[in-house]
């Protein structure tokens, strides 16, 4: 009888010790959505909008620090196996093989979500005669077969999401011209195009699509954004504007995807929820990308060009 009572009392004691409040449990975590520091990797193409998202999140959560390393998409995807990087922002979700590898190597599941869409903008020298292209003509430029000698310039000739999109979705099996040139970054593409009339640059619209951003306004004084033949009306040409991306009139549209691999409900999870939530989606809309998770609406406007 006495032994049974002792066992019962010990069981109650251990049970009480295990019953900690939510606040006490949160204090033991290395970070939470409201405090701590996290490292993430992001495709360099999306730097302007990711900088804005991080700034707003940290302003609303004063105890947080989000360290972003901007890299090529291939390097970001390699970071999926880096246990110190818990979130990456790229243009595609993880493959089954990558999910399995993460689970085997890091013992954590990977989750992904499309949070926005942007376009590949085509930029030319301010004095360029050619400012309107069909997709066939762009393909000719990319393969070196265009009627004029126009050299394509990218933010790298391999490993970047822009190059991957061009190879997979535009060239579709044909080879990129050997004369294609590589700048060190998206900003480098803009700078190079601004001083070389015989080239055509390819950059994410996040670098040239926001007329309310002072940095992008300075870029738009250096280069022209070309019109590309619309997908819905032959002979109609459109720019990589938000409404055209949203309505899929612009032909070169891609996703922005987060891939999250965090074992606890930490800062990376909080930031992922933020970018897919209402405030994050509003930031995408204000940054002239197309939100993918909230139907915030795009109002038709007339743009004087």
pLDDT in tens, the chain (305 residues): 545 555 545 555 444 445 555 455 555 568 999 999 999 999 999 999 999 999 999 999 999 999 999 999 999 999 999 999 999 999 999 999 999 999 999 999 999 999 999 999 999 999 999 999 999 999 999 999 999 999 999 998 888 999 999 999 999 999 999 999 999 999 999 999 999 999 999 999 989 988 888 888 888 899 999 999 999 888 899 999 888 998 889 999 999 999 999 999 999 999 999 999 999 999 999 999 999 998 766 555 444 44
DSSP 289: S
Contact 297, 282 (CB under 8 A): no
Q: Which two tokens stand for residue 57?
A: 């999140």
pLDDT of residue 210: 82
Please name the residues in contact with 253: beta carbons below 8 A apart, sequence gap of 6 or more: 117, 118, 119, 245, 290
In this chain, the answer to whether the domains covering 31-117+254-291 and 119-253 adopt an identical fold is yes
pTM: predicted TM-score of the whole model, two decimal places: 0.85
pLDDT of residue 186: 93
Rounded Cα distance between 113 and 111, Å, is 7
Rounded Cα distance between 119 and 68, Å, is 22
Q: How many CB atoms lie within 10 A of CB 103?
A: 13
pLDDT of residue 233: 84
Q: How many CB atoms lie within 10 A of CB 7?
A: 10
| CATH tag for 31-117+254-291 (out of 3.40.50.410, 3.40.630.30, 3.10.20.30, 3.40.190.10) | 3.40.190.10
Rounded Cα distance between 197 and 245, Å, is 27
Domain ranges of the chain: 31-117+254-291, 119-253
CATH number listed for the domain at residues 119-253:
3.40.190.10
């Amino acid at each position: 009888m006495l032994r049974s009572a002792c066992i019962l009392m010990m069981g109650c004691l251990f049970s009480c010790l295990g019953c900690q409040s939510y606040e006490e449990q949160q204090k033991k975590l290395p970070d939470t959505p409201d405090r701590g520091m996290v490292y993430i990797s992001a495709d360099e193409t999306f730097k302007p909008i990711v900088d804005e998202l991080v700034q707003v999140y940290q302003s609303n959560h004063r105890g947080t620090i989000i360290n972003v390393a901007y890299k090529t998409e291939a390097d970001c995807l390699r970071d999926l196996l880096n246990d110190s990087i818990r979130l990456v922002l790229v243009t595609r979700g993880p493959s089954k093989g990558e999910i399995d590898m993460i689970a085997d190597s890091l013992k954590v599941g990977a989750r992904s979500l499309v949070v926005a869409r942007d376009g590949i903008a085509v930029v030319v020298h301010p004095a360029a005669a050619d400012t309107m292209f069909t997709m066939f003509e762009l393909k000719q430029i990319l393969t070196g077969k265009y009627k004029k000698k126009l050299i394509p310039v990218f933010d790298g000739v391999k490993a970047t999401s822009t190059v991957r999109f061009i190879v997979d979705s535009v060239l579709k099996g044909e080879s990129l011209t050997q004369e294609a040139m590589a700048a060190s970054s998206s900003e480098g593409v803009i700078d190079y195009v601004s001083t070389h009339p015989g080239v055509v640059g390819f950059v994410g619209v996040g670098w040239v699509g926001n007329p309310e951003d002072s940095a992008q306004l300075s870029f738009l004084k250096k280069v022209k954004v070309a019109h590309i033949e619309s997908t819905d009306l032959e002979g109609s040409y459109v720019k990589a504007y938000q409404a055209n991306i949203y309505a899929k009139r612009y032909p070169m549209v891609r996703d922005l995807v987060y891939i999250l691999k965090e074992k606890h409900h930490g800062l990376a999870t909080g930031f992922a929820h933020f970018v897919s939530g209402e405030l994050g989606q509003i930031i995408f809309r204000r940054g002239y990308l197309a939100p993918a998770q909230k139907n915030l609406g795009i109002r038709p406007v007339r743009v004087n060009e």
